[in-house]
Amino acid sequence: MKFTKRSNNHLTAHLYEHLFFIHLDTLLQAKGYFPIIDYSVDAYTDDGEITFEIDAYRDIHIHNFLSQAADELLSNNELLAIACTQLESESHHELLIANSDELIASLKEINTLLWNTDVKAEVNTRNIAKGEKIKIIELELIIDYPNVSQALKPLYRLVAGVTMNTFVSNIADTYGGFVASSAFETTADKSLLGRVHLCERVQVSEIQDLFNESVEDLTTKGGYSRLLTDLQNIDSMKLAPSNERAEADTGVSMDDTKWAEISNEQNLQISLNALKLQVAYEDISTNE
Ligand SMILES: [Zn+2]
């Protein structure tokens, strides 16, 4: 499903997109749904036009979530500050806000617009501007394949990938980071790689804690179990793992039957026990 809104000011629209995304993602995760496993949201802003592409793999009432996100959108200044930081992390430039009350009024204008109408929100374009370049840290998150048997690698890689996806979105929503990688990006030696751009260096211990919390959430809220069930029931598979990518990354050729064979509770536990995160930082501000 595709949802669009338009505004006369690109930066305000882009900020609205990030703020709305944080709310939507937080609401979905609070209900125990996880990206890749239960839904996918892709959001972008192009010349003042905001687009959300949303796919639900479960019985999720997307319209309810959209209206709840809109209702709560401007009730939380902390999330607005995080959305502003996300824009800075993404653009590598400071975000200048002339008057935050007026900016909130502009965001309200966009918020009250219905999705998919031709009406454009007219906002005050002087409230927000792009400032100087700022220092950006790239957080590199690596999960490799230690102590996992060859046959189990495709399942391990998938479990690691969905974990990485939830984890990087949690970093973005907590520290105002910008996720600069896809869910299944790999390093030269095929380890799984997550990349997040940050305005400030976050302590390794905090990152590790957030990783452990992501794994815990996926476990206790049934994310991994739903993934397993889908992989076991080929006919009702919601998430089709890419067999080509699995083979390229693990050297194991896969088909639906093989996924069903290796996807059981015991192998999931082995995979979860093997999950180890490595954290590295790089100052990328001078690389542009
Ligand atoms: Zn953006």
Answer yes or no: do 261 and 187 share one domain.
yes
**Are 229 and 155 members of one domain?**
yes
The band of 241, judged by pLDDT with boundaries at 50, 70 and 90, is low
CATH assignment at residue 242: 3.30.830
In this structure, the answer to whether residues 108 and 150 fall within a common structural domain is no
251 and 263 co-located in one domain: yes
Tell me the pLDDT band of 285, cut-offs 50, 70 and 90. confident
Q: What is the mean pLDDT of the chain?
A: 93
CA 41, 163, 33, 154 torsion-angle sign: positive
Based on the domain organization, do 61 and 144 belong to the same domain?
no
The fraction of the chain above a pLDDT of 90, given in percent, is 81
Cα(128) to centroid(ligand 1), Å: 15
Instruction: Mention every residue, 6+ apart, whose C-beta is less than 8 A from residue 248.
Output: none
Domain boundary residue among 70, 98, 133? 133
User: Contact, 279 vs 204, CB < 8 A?
Assistant: yes
Ligand 1 centroid vs 150 CA: distance in angstroms?
A: 38
Mark whether 179 and 73 lie in a shared domain. no
274 CA to centre of ligand 1 in angstroms: 33
Model confidence at 190, pLDDT cuts 50, 70, 90, reads confident
pLDDT over 80 at 72, yes or no: yes
What separation in Å is there between the alpha carbon of 17 and the centre of ligand 1? 7
User: DSSP assignment of 190-231, as one string?
Assistant: --EEEEEEESSPPPHHHHHHHHHHHHHHHHHTTHHHHHHHHH
Mark whether 86 and 172 lie in a shared domain: no
For residues 271 and 174, membership in a common domain is answered with yes
Same domain, 73 and 163: no
Phi and psi (nearest 5°) for 63?
-60, -35
Q: What is the CA radius of gyration of the chain?
A: 20
* Domain end (from 117, 133, 149): 133
Whether 148 and 283 share a structural domain: yes
Average pLDDT estimate for 239-265 = 87
Domain boundary among 133, 151, 176: 133
In the chain, DSSP assigns E strands to 2-7, 39-46, 49-56, 93-97, 120-121, 128-133, 137-143, 178-179, 192-198, 278-283
* Whether 123 and 185 share a structural domain: no
Q: What is the pLDDT of residue 237?
A: 54
Ligand 1 centre to CA of 277 (Å) is 26
- Mean pLDDT for 88-105 is 95
Query: For 92-104, what is the mean pLDDT?
Result: 94
Report how far ligand 1's centroid is from the alpha carbon of 91 (Å): 8
Confidence at residue 239, expressed as pLDDT on a 0 to 100 scale: 61
Q: How many domains does the chain have?
A: 2
* For residues 54-66, average pLDDT: 94
The CA distance from 135 to 127, in Å, is: 23
- Tell me the pTM: 0.93
Measure 259 CA to ligand 1 centroid, in angstroms.
Answer: 35
User: Per-residue pLDDT tens for 110-130?
Assistant: 999 999 998 999 999 899 999
Q: What are phi and psi of 178, to 5 degrees?
A: -115, 120
User: What is the CA 25 to chain-centroid distance, rounded?
Assistant: 8
The boundaries of the domain holding residue 239 are 137-287
> Do 173 and 244 lie in a common domain?
yes
- How many Å lie between the centroid of ligand 1 and the Cα of residue 180? 10
The tokens for 198 are: 């940050």
Convert the pLDDT of each residue in 37-53 to its tens digit.
Answer: 999 999 999 999 999 99
